[in-house]
């Protein structure tokens, strides 16, 4: 079945690294995504990773994928107060064009 789990809350200090974790159950997931949602806004696509990759880096963002354990993480380097938001991981099986979202992790960055 499809189920995506995330921890609910993460608090870090400005300048530290943040690591947001996600686990999923659908072994047929082909792509995994990270989205950011700020208050009152829609979802902003941050990055994605194909299931045959282990890592993807995009500026301050690093995505790690452990396919064996079905574990995905998003590392934000040099976290800024503007990074405070809710972060969602999502999986997709391209046969279905449907995103299954996690519960979201609220990241709070303090000065």
Asked whether position 41 contacts another protein by CB under 8 A, the answer is: yes
Question: Residue 31, interface with another protein (CB under 8 A)?
Answer: yes
Minimum CB–partner distance for residue 35 and another protein (Å): 8
Q: Is the dihedral of CA 46, 90, 66, 16 positive or negative?
A: positive
Least separation in angstroms between residue 83's CB and another protein is 18
Centroid of chain to Cα 44:
11
Give the residues lining the site for another protein (CB under 8 A). Answer: 30-31, 33, 35, 41-45, 48, 50, 88, 90, 92, 94, 96-104
């Amino acid at each position: 079945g499809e189920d995506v789990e995330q921890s609910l809350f993460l608090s870090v200090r400005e300048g530290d690294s943040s690591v947001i974790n996600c686990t999923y159950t659908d072994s047929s997931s082909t792509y995994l995504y990270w989205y950011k949602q700020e208050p009152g806004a829609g979802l902003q696509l941050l990055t994605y990773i194909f299931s045959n990759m282990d890592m993807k880096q995009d500026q301050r963002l690093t995505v790690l994928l452990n396919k064996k354990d079905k574990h995905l993480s998003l590392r934000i380097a040099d976290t800024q107060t503007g990074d405070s938001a809710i972060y969602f991981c999502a999986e997709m099986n391209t046969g279905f064009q449907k995103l299954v979202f996690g519960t979201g992790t609220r990241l709070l960055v303090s000065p």
